[in-house]
Amino acid sequence: MRFKVFLLSIIIVVFFSCDNTEYETITIATPIIMSKAEFRNSVEILNPQIIDQSGKIYAYGDYIFINDMFQGVLIVDNTNPENPVNKSYIKIPGNIDIAIKDNFLYADSSIDLVVFDISDINNIHYIERLEDVFSIYDYEIPEEVQEVNWNNYNIETEVIVDWIITQEEREISDSNDDFIEIGGGDFALTTNNVGTGGSLARFQIVNNYLYTVGENEMAIFDISNLAEPFLETTQYAGWNIETMFQADGYLYLGSTNGMYIYSLSNPSNPVYISEFVHWEGCDPVVVDGDYAYLTLRGGNLCGQEESVLEVIDVSDKSNPQLVESYTLENPYGLGVKEDLLFVCDGTAGLKIFDKSDPLDLELLTQYPSIQSKDVIPLENVLLIIGEEILYQYEYTEDGISQISTFSF
């Protein structure tokens, strides 16, 4: 009997010691869905709401618009920057981006584009919806996600309005047909009174056109009749597009592995000019004159471990060239104003560079306490958004001086 127990123990030990299966932790997004009928009747103008997760910011006139990720937009009255006031909230399921021209606000609502008349900020009107103009595969998925579980989602009758994020331990060789990896190409489908977005924006208005980008697709809307925009065309934009910036008749698209340049010589049909390729990383871009500035955030799921600020000579749009690179901590958005370059460097705080010589940037000052995601340098005020706070600063000879903080 003892011998049998001993033999069984050896078998168990040998069996488990030979199990060399390797596991990995996968971050999965499962869509929160709503019927299209309910979804398209869910827009509301509400009193100020508490933001669940802050997204992008947009400035227009005396107002600041703060995206509440996938939920809507909080409107802040900034007539007095020392005392910003919650004004109202527009409930827009599936919203990420907005753009405004002549008091008409354009917003994505998952697969749709919606239009609001904000000429009377106390009496906002919901006036138009363009249905099914955005591909579900161009819908913004949370950054940390590696796979999407599309199980039980009916593309014909339902729409994605948010995501549930979970983690799963899985054998490295394991697979599941209900999941797809993020970034698959198989699913690709100013002038006037225009507001200002940050470097993380995917919406840009240039004259009579609204340009929007998703992961692989650019949509071009004719907004010559502001109240009745129409989709002019869609076209392939590039690989894993994250941001869009416009300057001097060109669109600059930031992707995880490069920057694409499009000419607006034919505004209804942007023409591809060139691509600047870099190693993989999360990539917003801003442009000033002959130089583009990109922050590449490495680590996690963004790509390489290194995080850098790159300076690219774009004087020859057909042949952009890297001219300088600077090491950063974990950068997000950035902005330019005259000879200043503002970089939101994550846990390292806000950094301000003198860019009077783009080939030799000088770090003027650093504010470690300003944990920020994006920045908008306006004429007289610097807007900075963090996880739960909107910061406002005035420009000084030595850097910036705080005007106010606004918790949302």
CA distance 34 to 311: 43
Could you list the residue range(s) of the whole structural domain that residue 73 is in?
24-198
pLDDT of residue 32: 86
Neighbour tally for 35: CB within 10 Å: 12
pLDDT of residue 16: 44
Residue 189 has pLDDT above 60, yes or no: no
**Structure-token match 């103008």, residue found:** 45
Confidence of residue 258 (pLDDT cuts 50, 70, 90): confident
Mean pLDDT of all residues in the chain? 86
**DSSP string over 102-134:** TTEEEEEETTEEEEEE-SSTTS-EEEEEETT-S
Q: What single letter denotes the amino acid at residue 13?
A: V
Identify whether 349 is part of a domain. Answer: no
pLDDT digits (tens, 9 = 90+) for 126-135: 999 999 999 8
Residue 281 has pLDDT above 80, yes or no: no
Identify whether 47 is part of a domain. Answer: yes
CA distance 261 to 66: 28
Average pLDDT over residues 310-323: 96
pLDDT of residue 215: 87
CA distances from 253 to 98, 202, 263, 328, 406 (A): 17, 9, 11, 21, 31
Identify whether 389 is part of a domain. Answer: no
Q: Which residues contact 169 (CB under 8 A, 6 or more apart)?
A: 23, 24, 25, 26
pLDDT of residue 283: 72
Residue 371 has pLDDT above 70, yes or no: yes
pLDDT digits (tens, 9 = 90+) for 153-169: 888 888 887 888 888 88
Identify whether 149 is part of a domain. Answer: yes
Confidence of residue 145 (pLDDT cuts 50, 70, 90): confident
CA distance 373 to 56: 9
Identify whether 386 is part of a domain. Answer: no
Identify whether 41 is part of a domain. Answer: yes
Instruction: Tally the domains of the chain.
Output: 1
Identify whether 42 is part of a domain. Answer: yes
Identify whether 399 is part of a domain. Answer: no
pLDDT of residue 87: 96
pLDDT digits (tens, 9 = 90+) for 211-239: 999 989 999 999 999 999 999 999 999 98
pLDDT of residue 383: 97
pLDDT digits (tens, 9 = 90+) for 88-107: 999 999 999 999 999 999 99
Q: Is 289 helix (H, G, I), strand (E, B) or coil?
A: coil
